[in-house]
Structure 1
Amino acid sequence: MFEHLKDQPADKILALMQAFKDDPREDKIDLGVGVYKDAQGHTPIMRAIKAAEKQLWETEETKSYTGLAGDPAFADRMIELILGDAVERGAVAAVATPGGTGAVRQGFDLVRLANPGAKVFVSDPTWPNHLSILKHMGLPVVPYRYFDSETGGVDFDGMVEDLKHAEKGDIVLLHGCCHNPTGANLTMSQWQEVADLVNKQGAVPMIDIAYQGFGDGLEEDAAGTRLIAAHCPETIIAASCSKNFGIYRERTGLLMAVAHEAGRQKTNQGNLAYLNRQNYSFPPDHGARLVLMVLGDDALRADWQAELEEVRTGMLRLRERLAGELRELSGSDRFGFLAQHRGMFSRLGCAPDKVEALREKHGIYMVGDSRMNIAGLNDETVPKLARAIIDVGI
């Protein structure tokens, strides 16, 4: 049987990680891996998470299963964090998942279960794993224009024009905030226009929100998701706790199905639990338990929000400094978009040969499409990156 298997294409980001490790230069810079790093290049455990783990170690009495959907209290807290009072709790079905990736995969599974003929409209570009999962599942993908390489912003006119081709029951995949890989976000008026257009076409929005709190703040970053969930009859939401709680390896996520039609939540909840059973039965609980403890304790929550704000403002400061350095070196504001982007990532919008030149000449590693992780920078490396960008002619 195994002789029929074929080698799978190497993951570009994993290959980039290995190339970085193999580079002997001491002044090399890693801007490829999509994890938050502090100024020392370390991905820390957040203070509130560490405190919750200590409490859990002292008080946990069992490692038994929670349930197919995970602990309902975890879902309640996450729904409150993401949706606020935008929709009634009774309209939301939810299950815990192994990370945001697990939520995305389960969301696509729900789509296939509900409407096997659905096409999935995906931003160009998007997180590569979106496309990989959809290809593996055999779901048809339709790209829609999103990033304007000339301006570094959103090509909203192109986006709207492309989404007009969505049909009833199709899925429009959106990034809730801090778009990966570009860092370019929709304005609230644009979110409203997307909601109106999706409703007009009869399509269903699916939102991947993985960076809440990394952009403009917890409430601000959830505003677009809340608007969509409130204005559209049905919404699918895949959420990740990896970044904003710093629990990457705990694989903690949540999948939500929002439906305003009376009585729909019970059926949706049953189908989400069914999909969990088919894929991994009971979701992991450790990370979810820590998130629940942090969100449910006033002191822990306040400390978590304070540290998250430090992370957010630190990345904004790096963005502003990089844009400033490039402004001084180039004599223009053509890199000003870097200060306007939000989240961990920005996309320079340059050709792959320029990215390769950055690696070969300066030891600066970023994904071939020019996506760079702003959190991989610090005060010492920002000027070096700016000089390298100008040197290779970006």
Structure 2
Amino acid sequence: MFEHLKAQPADKILALMQAFKDDPRDRKIDLGVGVYKNADGVTPVMHAIKAAEHRLWEEQDSKAYVGLAGDPAFADAMIGLVLGDSVAQSNIGAAATPGGTGACRQAFELIRMANPEARVFVSDPTWPNHLSILKYLGIEAMAYRYFDDETRGVDFGGMIEDLKTAKPGDVVLLHGCCHNPTGANLNLTEWQAVIDLMLDRGLVPMIDIAYQGFGDGLEADAAATRLVAEQVPECLIAASCSKNFGIYRERTGLLMAVSQDAGQRKLNQDTLAFLNRQNYSFPPDHGARLVTMILNDDGLRADWARELEDVRLSMLGLRQSLADELQRLSGSDRFAFLAQHRGMFSRLGTTPDKVEKLRADYGIYMIGDSRMNIAGLNARTVPILAKAIVDAGV
């Protein structure tokens, strides 16, 4: 049997991680993997997470299964965080998943089950795993223009033009905030135009929100998702706790199925539980329980929000510092977009050969499409990166 297996393409990010690890140079800089790092190059455990874990260690008296959809209290807390009061909770089915990736996978499974003919329109570019999972599941992915390599902003005209080719029942995959990999985001006026188009053409939005709190703040980062959810007949929302709670390895996510028809909720909820059962039965609980404790405790929530805000402001500071240093070295404002982008990532908009030159000559590691993790920088490495970018002619 095993002899019939075929080698699978290597994951580019994981391959880049290994290449960085094997590089003996002292001045190498890792801007590849999407993990937040502080000024010391460490991905810290947040104070509120530590406090919640200590409390959980003292209070928890069982590790028994919770339920196919996870703890309802986790779903309620996350729905409140992501959607606020934009949609009645009685209209939302939800299930805990192994991280945001698990939420996306379950969403795609639900789409295939509900409408096998549906195509999923995906931004060009997008997080590579979106495309990988869609291909594995046999769901047709359609690219819509999103990033303009000249302006390093959103190609909104191209996006709208491409979405006009979608058919009723097709799904539009949107990044709720902090677009990965580009860092370029729609403004709320543009979001409303996309919503109007989806309503006009009978399209179903799916929102992947993995970085709430990393862009313009917890409430601002949720604004677009709430705008969509309160206006469309139905939508899917895949939320991740990996970044904003710093619990990457705990694999904590939530998939929400939102319908304006409250009578649809039971079927949606039962379907989400069924999908969990088929894939992994019961979702992980440890991270979900920590998140629930933090969001439901005023003191822990305030501490978490303060630390998250420090993380956000740190990344904004690194963006501005890099843009300023590039302007100083190049005498041009063509890198000003770096300060305008939001979240962990920005796409330089340069060619793969220039990215390879940065790696080979300067020990700068980023994804081949020029996506770089801003959170991988610090005050020491910003000028090193800036000089490398200018010297390499990016």
Band of TM-score, shorter chain:
over 0.9
- Per the alignment, residue 127 of structure 2 pairs with 127
Aligned with 2:41: secondary structure? Answer: coil
Aligned partners of 2:149 and 2:76: how far apart in 1? 40
Task: Give the C-alpha shift of residue 341 in structure 1.
Answer: 0.2
Aligned with 1:61: secondary structure? Answer: coil
Say if 2:284 is the partner of 1:268.
no
Task: Give the C-alpha shift of residue 320 in structure 1.
Answer: 0.3
**AA of the residue aligned to 2:284:** P
Work out the number of aligned pairs and report it: 394
Say if 2:243 is the partner of 1:243.
yes
Task: Give the C-alpha shift of residue 261 in structure 1.
Answer: 1.5
Say if 2:230 is the partner of 1:215.
no
Aligned with 2:262: secondary structure? Answer: coil
Task: Give the C-alpha shift of residue 306 in structure 1.
Answer: 0.2
Task: Give the C-alpha shift of residue 330 in structure 1.
Answer: 1.1
**AA of the residue aligned to 2:322:** L
**AA of the residue aligned to 1:219:** E
Cα shift readout 1:203-229 (whole Å, capped 9, x = no counterpart)? 100000000000000000000000000
- Per the alignment, residue 142 of structure 2 pairs with 142
Aligned partners of 1:333 and 1:193: how far apart in 2? 30
Runs (5+) with no aligned partner, structure 2: none
- Per the alignment, residue 225 of structure 1 pairs with 225
Say if 2:106 is the partner of 1:106.
yes
- Per the alignment, residue 170 of structure 2 pairs with 170
**AA of the residue aligned to 2:379:** D
Aligned partners of 2:311 and 2:321: how far apart in 1? 16
Q: Considering only aligned residues, what root-mean-square deviation do their CA atoms show, in Å?
A: 0.5
Aligned partners of 2:282 and 2:362: how far apart in 1? 47
Identity of aligned residues (%): 73
Task: Give the C-alpha shift of residue 262 in structure 1.
Answer: 3.3
Runs of 4 or more consecutive aligned structure 1 residues displaced over 6 Å after TM superposition: none
**AA of the residue aligned to 1:222:** A
- Per the alignment, residue 350 of structure 1 pairs with 350
Say if 2:379 is the partner of 1:371.
no
- Per the alignment, residue 294 of structure 1 pairs with 294
Q: Normalized against structure 1, the TM-score is what?
A: 1.00
- Per the alignment, residue 361 of structure 1 pairs with 361
- Per the alignment, residue 31 of structure 1 pairs with 31
Runs (5+) with no aligned partner, structure 1: none
- Per the alignment, residue 334 of structure 1 pairs with 334
- Per the alignment, residue 20 of structure 1 pairs with 20
Aligned partners of 1:12 and 1:264: how far apart in 2? 40
- Per the alignment, residue 61 of structure 2 pairs with 61
Aligned with 1:263: secondary structure? Answer: helix
Cα shift readout 1:245-267 (whole Å, capped 9, x = no counterpart)? 00000000000000001301111
Cα shift readout 1:101-160 (whole Å, capped 9, x = no counterpart)? 000000000101100100000000000000000000000010000000100100000000
Aligned partners of 1:74 and 1:43: how far apart in 2? 24
Aligned with 2:255: secondary structure? Answer: strand
Task: Give the C-alpha shift of residue 332 in structure 1.
Answer: 1.2
Aligned with 2:287: secondary structure? Answer: helix
Aligned partners of 2:12 and 2:112: how far apart in 1? 28
Aligned partners of 2:203 and 2:277: how far apart in 1? 28
Task: Give the C-alpha shift of residue 199 in structure 1.
Answer: 0.8
Aligned with 2:112: secondary structure? Answer: helix
